[in-house]
């Protein structure tokens, strides 16, 4: 439950590169934590849960450079699953993919809706085994890679499903340790309809979702 196992603060950090290198007199940065460290917060919560440890009790986001900040940024980068993860997001974001299935010559291409239904089966199997499942949420349709940061990650830890609908209980880092956040999916709609409830951003729709590959790492000592 987020109220017991999630980080106390919501996802809000000052602008700073997620990765940086010093090339002589030039500092090169990649990513911006001001876009959010949702993936790092999701992985951190799951790391502590798997270790049987309480999460950090800090009531506010950690200061840049602090041990907790560095841990969250490292886990954020892990959640990107480089180099594969960004390609998954870009593929599902692409306007060329479409929501429905298409036939292009000899190829049958699965659209966003079919892929979401297939992913739901995988996510459900993970949850049925008693394991929370990190999810990547595609919240923008665009070929512009600069918009990757507008996508989101949450952690599913339970569900109800009936009559072609699913309601997943999720930890949403944007909403702090709130036990009442759900991801509601109408699997029979065309296209599939999904949204976070409540939704705190202006982009309510979730166009596709998938299970994010997770590998446990021992949380740092506090």
* Domain contains 217: no
pLDDT tier, 17 (very low <50, low <70, confident <90, very high otherwise) = low
Q: What is the pLDDT of residue 27?
A: 44
* Domain contains 57: yes
Q: What is the pLDDT of residue 23?
A: 44
User: For 101-110, b where at least 16 C-beta lie within 10 A, e where not — what string?
Assistant: eeeeeeeeee
* Domain contains 207: yes
29-55: average pLDDT: 86
- The DSSP-derived string for 99-153 is SS-EEETTEEE--HHHHHHHHHHHHHHHHHTT--EEEEEE----S-GGGGGG-EE
* Domain contains 42: yes
Residue whose C-alpha is closest to residue 33's, from 62, 1, 67, 3: 62
Q: What is the pLDDT of residue 90?
A: 95
The per-residue pLDDT for range 151-164, each reduced to its tens digit, is: 999 999 999 999 89
Report pTM.
0.89
Domain that holds residue 148: 2-211
* Domain contains 216: no
Distance between CA 80 and CA 88 in Å, rounded?
Answer: 10
Q: pLDDT higher for 204 or 119?
A: 119
* Domain contains 198: yes
Ranking 26-40, 59-73, 79-93, 168-182 by mean pLDDT, the lowest is 26-40
* Domain contains 118: yes
Q: How many domains does the chain have?
A: 1
CB 36 within 8 A of CB 173: yes
* Domain contains 112: yes
């Amino acid at each position: 439950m987020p109220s017991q196992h999630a980080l106390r603060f919501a996802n809000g950090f000052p602008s700073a590169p997620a990765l940086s290198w010093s090339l002589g007199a030039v500092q090169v940065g990649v990513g911006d934590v001001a876009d959010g460290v949702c993936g790092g917060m999701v992985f951190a919560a799951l790391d502590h849960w798997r270790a049987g440890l309480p999460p950090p009790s800090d009531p506010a986001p950690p200061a840049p450079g602090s041990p907790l900040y560095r841990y969250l940024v490292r886990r954020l980068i892990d959640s990107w699953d480089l180099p594969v993860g960004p390609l998954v997001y870009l593929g599902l974001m692409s306007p060329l993919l479409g929501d429905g299935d298409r036939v292009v010559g000899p190829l049958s291409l699965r659209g966003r809706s079919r892929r979401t239904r297939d992913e739901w089966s995988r996510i459900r199997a993970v949850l049925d085994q008693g394991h929370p499942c990190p999810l990547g949420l595609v919240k923008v349709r665009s070929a512009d890679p600069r918009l990757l940061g507008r996508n989101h990650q949450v952690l599913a830890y339970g569900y109800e499903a009936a009559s072609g609908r699913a309601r997943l209980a999720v930890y949403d880092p944007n909403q702090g340790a709130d036990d009442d956040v759900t991801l509601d999916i109408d699997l029979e709609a065309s296209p599939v309809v999904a949204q976070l409830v409540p939704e705190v951003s202006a982009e309510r729709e979730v166009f596709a979702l998938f299970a994010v590959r997770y590998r446990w790492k021992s949380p740092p000592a506090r």
